Amino acid sequence: MTALLEFQNVDVFYGPIQALRNVSLSINEGETVSLIGANGAGKSTLLMSIFGQPRAAQGNILYQGQDITRKTAHFVASNGIAQAPEGRHVFPDMSVEENLLMGTIPIGTKWVDEDMQRMFDLFPRLKERRNQRAMTMSGGEQQMLAIARALMSRPKLLLLDEPSLGLAPIVVKHIFQILRELAQSGMTIFLVEQNANHALKLSDRAYVMVTGEIRMTGTGQELLADPQVQEAYLGGH
Amino acid sequence: MSGYQTSFDLKRCLIDTVMAGLISLVVFGPIVGIVLQGYSFQTEPKRLAVLIGIVMLGRFCLSLFLQTVRGQKIAESFSKPGGGVHVLPPHHKSNLRFIIPILILLAIAFPFFANKYLLSVVILGLIYVLLGLGLNIVVGLAGLLDLGFVGFYAIGAYGLALGYEYLGLGFWSMIPLAAVMAALAGALLGFPVLRMHGDYLAIVTLGFGEIIRLVLNNWVGFTGGPNGRPVPNPTFFGLEFGRRAKEGGTPIHEFFGFKYNPNAELIFTFVVLVIVVLAVLYIKHRLTRMPVGRAWEALREDEIACRAMGLNHVLVKLSAFMIGASTAGIAGVFFATKQGFIDPSSFTFFESALILAIVVLGGMGSTVGVVIAAFVLTILPELLRSFADYRILMFGILMVLMMIWRPRGLIRISRRGYEVRKGVPPSAAHTRVMPTPVTGKEVTP
């Protein structure tokens, strides 16, 4: 099986500061892979470097075998990689349906009705609020909307940047429930998360990132059981 | 709010009244109360007292009125944040479908009873409608604050004057050409500012507008500098509107055999302008419903999300700048035609501010609001000729009041929500054509 997305020895700099050091990782088709790490470890940088923002100074990023290291953000985003950005970033003045419609930009509106229906099946809460403006919804609902919007482009790879950010534990649980359903349906998911407990339970494989380097890798269960990971990310119990 | 209070609170009314009196004393005191006479000045307490009296009486009545049930309702409707875009149900039918035909009929009837003055005022209003619509795309829809919009207006106007002088181009050929030229200038401005937002963008665009004006002012050999340039009279298929034809042409009244009408040229400008405004309104209406229109609005709302969606922000921003600019270019051609003569002093920063005020006053992104605001801000100063000295003061007061009560503009932006089309089965044959998120893995061969 070839990797859907592959990082090969990627270095990324913000001016003089090195944010990613020699990062290599791969995501296979149909897998759920998560990347966990503390604040400032470089998780979001890694995710954004897929879109060339910031651009990798060294190394290659391959998507379906094609080098996308130097491609523009919109090229990457419109070729099967969809992202639910950190902090949700839904369009505040647009209704739920319009937000979903925006998600179809890369593929056009050919399947919009069908896909929208599917999103409403996946997130019944969004169906209730279909004509409501996104800014008037709760954080959890906005996160659902951000995920649904990303799915509207029928991506091959779904990138999620901290879907649990700023949400109540019960809502986080609900969101991960939905992500599990998505993963079981065959969606390839790359999850960047601080909430290691939830992320590891969901993932087939996971990477642990510390100050810009990949320190550990293994299956979700292995990492959950690892004493070091427990100590650092799971509250030591 | 459940119930409205019914009793009157006289004390509050009196406090309000005294406060209003003090404020008006501060505002009017130096302006009205002291009159300069040569090197000395003279106090005019009587005039001041009358003005303050009027303000206090008005405030007292207002306070009393606001305490009635009806007044409380009105006050409540003002204090509502009402923010944001109002999303209408998909099948909403706007009242405009009745209003627009009436307005068109009015526009057809207008030249028959209007005199020269009225015609030229309305033409000016329509020119500002065009400018407002253009800037509305840039500021209202795409959210890019542009303070140098007058530059594109100047390009259109000078395009006609200089195009006639050097290339022999006329009114008709300049309308499309001015649109293209202004659009190119818009792209020229757009490229360097792609990465800028808010204040920085405003400063760069401000500079752009000033550059255009200063070039026009100082390149005396080419543009005529501060002396300005004459503009050719418009023609209708080669027919002229003057009493007597110049250079062997035929005046229109001789050709069609009607009596010479000194207003003919203005009427002609008015008719063409109305047609252009209607066309621009229609195009804008369609654009906001097309993907590019949605992309503009999305860009205004969240640029990061836009790029995450795979939107090419370069194209989106440039298209907003170019389409907005081309509208201003067309407006410039009409302005030059109406004036018959142009010079750089018509294209100062104040003009940009006025156009921006039209957009802000009308409601950012709202077409109807911009049309109304354009007429209000051009016709009101004409009606207030006798208060000409206080025009800018009134303008300022109007803007302050607007920002307090209607920060989103006169007319709330509303747009029709997305309509889910009927007749497409939820899980139809498409699933086999393309991998879907839910069944992706199983379906791909």
Using a CB-CB cut-off of 8 Å, the residues of chain A touching B424 are 113-114
Using a CB-CB cut-off of 8 Å, the residues of chain A touching B87 are 94-95, 98, 131, 133
Distance from CA of A185 to the nearest CA of B (A): 5
What value does the CA radius of gyration of chain A take, rounded to a whole number of Å?
Answer: 17
Among the listed residues B186, B219, B223, the one whose alpha carbon sits nearest the alpha carbon of residue B205: B186
Residue among B317, B438, B439 with most chain A CBs within 10 A, to mutate: B438
Q: Do residues B143 and B66 share a domain?
A: no
pLDDT, tens digit (0-9, with 9 covering 90-100), for B265-280: 888 899 999 999 999 9
pLDDT at position B414, please? 67
What average pLDDT does this structure show over B130-148?
Answer: 92
> B100-136 burial string, b = 16+ CB within 10 Å, else e?
eeeeeeebeebbeebeeeebbbbbbbbbbbbbbbbbb
> Are B322 and B138 a contacting pair, CB within 8 Å?
no
Q: In what order do the strands lie in the sheet with A3-14?
A: A17-28, A3-14, A56-63, A66-67
Among A105, A150, A186, select the one facing B442 at the smallest CB separation: A186
Specify burial of residue B419 (Cβ count, 10 A radius: 0-12, 13-18, 19+). Answer: exposed
Q: In chain A, how many domains are there?
A: 2
Q: Do residues A124 and A65 share a domain?
A: no
In this structure, of A24-33, A188-197, A218-227, B388-397, the range with the lowest mean pLDDT score is B388-397
Q: Which residues contact A117 (CB under 8 A, 6 or more apart)?
A: B426
CATH code for the domain of B397? 1.10.3470
Q: Is residue A199 part of a domain?
A: yes
CATH code for the domain of A64? 3.40.50.300
Q: Bigger pLDDT: B162 or B402?
A: B162
pLDDT at position A161, please? 92
Q: Do residues B32 and B178 share a domain?
A: no
Q: In chain B, how many domains are there?
A: 2
CB contact under 8 A, B301 and A73: no
Helix, coil or strand: residue A7: strand
pLDDT at position B10, please? 79
Q: Do residues B188 and B46 share a domain?
A: no
Among B87, B311, B430, select the one facing A111 at the smallest CB separation: B430
CB atoms within 10 A of CB B297: 23
Q: Do residues A56 and A164 share a domain?
A: yes
Of B64, B79, B94, which marks where a domain is finished? B79
Q: Do residues B404 and B356 share a domain?
A: yes
Range of the domain at B248: 107-413
- pLDDT band, residue B235 (cuts 50/70/90): confident
* B1 has a pLDDT exceeding 70: no
Using a CB-CB cut-off of 8 Å, the residues of chain A touching B442 are 186
pLDDT, tens digit (0-9, with 9 covering 90-100), for B32-47: 777 777 788 777 788 8
The Cα-based distances of B80 to A57, B77, B370, B412 in angstroms read 51, 5, 22, 13
Q: Is residue B437 part of a domain?
A: no
- pLDDT band, residue B76 (cuts 50/70/90): low
Q: Is residue B445 part of a domain?
A: no
What are the φ/ψ torsions at residue A189 (nearest 5 degrees)?
-125, 135
Q: Do residues B49 and B181 share a domain?
A: no
Q: Do residues A66 and A117 share a domain?
A: no
CB contact under 8 A, A74 and B421: no
Residue among A98, A117, A161, A178 with most chain B CBs within 10 A, to mutate: A98
DSSP state of A27: E
Q: Is residue A86 part of a domain?
A: no
CB contact under 8 A, B434 and A131: no
> Are A167 and A195 a contacting pair, CB within 8 Å?
no
CB atoms within 10 A of CB B394: 13
CB contact under 8 A, B420 and A155: no
In this structure, of B127-131, B176-180, B325-329, B389-393, the range with the lowest mean pLDDT score is B389-393
Q: Do residues B128 and B167 share a domain?
A: yes
Q: Do residues B48 and B124 share a domain?
A: no
Q: How far apart are CA A116 and CA B183, in angstroms?
A: 37
CB contact under 8 A, B305 and A91: yes
- pLDDT band, residue B423 (cuts 50/70/90): very low
Distance from CA of A2 to the nearest CA of B (A): 15
Among the listed residues A89, A91, A111, the one whose alpha carbon sits nearest the alpha carbon of residue A155: A111
What mean pLDDT, rounded, does chain B reach? 81
Among B304, B313, B441, select the one facing A89 at the smallest CB separation: B304
Q: Do residues A61 and A160 share a domain?
A: yes
Among B304, B312, B425, select the one facing A74 at the smallest CB separation: B312
- CA neighbours within 13 Å on the CB side: how many for A71? 20
- pLDDT band, residue B241 (cuts 50/70/90): confident
pLDDT at position B85, please? 59
pLDDT, tens digit (0-9, with 9 covering 90-100), for B81-92: 455 556 666 666
Of A127, A155, A183, which marks where a domain is finished? A155
Residue among A32, A101, A105, A137 with most chain B CBs within 10 A, to mutate: A105
* B123 has a pLDDT exceeding 90: yes
Q: Do residues B157 and B204 share a domain?
A: yes
Residue among A63, A114, A132 with most chain B CBs within 10 A, to mutate: A114
Q: Do residues A170 and A119 share a domain?
A: no
Distance from CA of B279 to the nearest CA of A (A): 27
Q: Is residue A73 part of a domain?
A: yes
Among A30, A102, A116, select the one facing B309 at the smallest CB separation: A102
The Cα-based distances of B318 to A58, B186, B190, B193 in angstroms read 32, 8, 6, 10
* B355 has a pLDDT exceeding 70: yes
Q: How far apart are CA B424 and CA B79, in angstroms?
A: 44
* The amino acid at B16: D
- CA neighbours within 13 Å on the CB side: how many for A136? 17
What average pLDDT does this structure show over A205-231?
Answer: 90
Q: Is residue A85 part of a domain?
A: no
Using a CB-CB cut-off of 8 Å, the residues of chain B touching A117 are 426
pLDDT, tens digit (0-9, with 9 covering 90-100), for B151-196: 999 999 999 999 999 998 889 999 999 999 999 999 998 888 888 8
What average pLDDT does this structure show over A114-132?
Answer: 90
Q: Is residue A223 part of a domain?
A: yes
CB contact under 8 A, A91 and B417: no
CB contact under 8 A, B424 and A154: no
pLDDT, tens digit (0-9, with 9 covering 90-100), for A68-89: 999 988 888 888 899 998 888 9
Using a CB-CB cut-off of 8 Å, the residues of chain B touching A51 are 307-308
CB contact under 8 A, A154 and B434: yes
Distance from CA of B7 to the nearest CA of A (A): 36
In chain A, alpha helices (H): 43-49, 73-77, 96-102, 112-122, 124-128, 139-151, 169-184, 196-202, 220-225, 227-233
Q: Do residues A59 and A115 share a domain?
A: no
In B248-366, alpha helices (H): 252-256, 264-289, 291-301, 303-308, 313-339, 349-362
Of B60, B79, B98, which marks where a domain is finished? B79
Size of the A and B interface in Cβ pairs below 8 Å = 131
Of A116, A138, A155, which marks where a domain is finished? A155
* B30 has a pLDDT exceeding 80: no
Among A106, A114, A154, select the one facing B310 at the smallest CB separation: A106
DSSP letters spanning B86-153? EEEPTT---THHHHHHHHHHHHHHHHHH--HHHHHHHHHHHHHHHHHHHHIIIIIIS----S-THHHH
In this structure, of A6-20, B100-114, B125-139, B176-190, the range with the lowest mean pLDDT score is B100-114
Q: Do residues A162 and A74 share a domain?
A: yes
DSSP-assigned beta bridge partners for residue B35: B42
Question: Does a cis peptide bond (omega within 30 degrees of 0) precede residue A54?
Answer: yes
What average pLDDT does this structure show over B215-226?
Answer: 92
Q: How far apart are CA B309 and CA A78, in angstroms?
A: 7
Please, what sign has the CA dihedral across residues B221, B224, B225, B231? negative
Residue among B87, B302, B309 with most chain A CBs within 10 A, to mutate: B309
Q: Which residues contact B242 (CB under 8 A, 6 or more apart)?
A: B233, B251, B265
Among B301, B313, B439, select the one facing A186 at the smallest CB separation: B439
Using a CB-CB cut-off of 8 Å, the residues of chain B touching A72 are 312
Range of the domain at A148: 92-155
* Angle subtended at Cα B102 by Cα B97 and Cα B105, rounded to the nearest 5 degrees: 130
Q: Do residues A99 and A136 share a domain?
A: yes
CB contact under 8 A, A185 and B440: yes
Q: Do residues A162 and A151 share a domain?
A: no
Q: Which residues contact B221 (CB under 8 A, 6 or more apart)?
A: none
pLDDT at position B334, please? 95
CB contact under 8 A, B313 and A186: no
Q: Is residue A144 part of a domain?
A: yes
What average pLDDT does this structure show over B369-376?
Answer: 90
Cα dihedral angle (B290, B295, B296, B301), rounded to 10 degrees? 130
Of A108, A137, A155, which marks where a domain is finished? A155
Among B84, B421, B426, select the one facing A135 at the smallest CB separation: B84
pLDDT at position A7, please? 93
Q: Which residues contact B46 (CB under 8 A, 6 or more apart)?
A: none
* A192 has a pLDDT exceeding 90: yes
* B14 has a pLDDT exceeding 60: yes
Q: Do residues A121 and A227 share a domain?
A: no
CB contact under 8 A, B305 and A90: yes
In A41-111, alpha helices (H): 43-49, 73-77, 96-102
Q: Is residue B278 part of a domain?
A: yes
CB contact under 8 A, A97 and B417: yes
Among A74, A95, A122, select the one facing B311 at the smallest CB separation: A74
Q: How far apart are CA B242 and CA B232, in angstroms?
A: 12
Using a CB-CB cut-off of 8 Å, the residues of chain B touching A115 are 436
Residue among B86, B195, B297, B302 with most chain A CBs within 10 A, to mutate: B302
pLDDT at position A101, please? 87
DSSP-assigned beta bridge partners for residue A99: none
Distance from CA of A37 to the nearest CA of B (A): 23
Using a CB-CB cut-off of 8 Å, the residues of chain A touching B439 are 185-186
Cα dihedral angle (B196, B200, B204, B207), rounded to 10 degrees? 170
Q: Do residues B277 and B338 share a domain?
A: yes
Q: How far apart are CA A83 and CA B318, in angstroms?
A: 25
Q: Is residue A108 part of a domain?
A: yes
Beta strand B34-37 with B40-43 is antiparallel
Q: Do residues A148 and A168 share a domain?
A: no
- CA neighbours within 13 Å on the CB side: how many for A70? 1
Q: Do residues A33 and A99 share a domain?
A: no
Among B308, B310, B313, select the one facing A85 at the smallest CB separation: B308
In this structure, of A64-78, B5-19, B212-226, the range with the lowest mean pLDDT score is B5-19
Q: Is residue B24 part of a domain?
A: yes
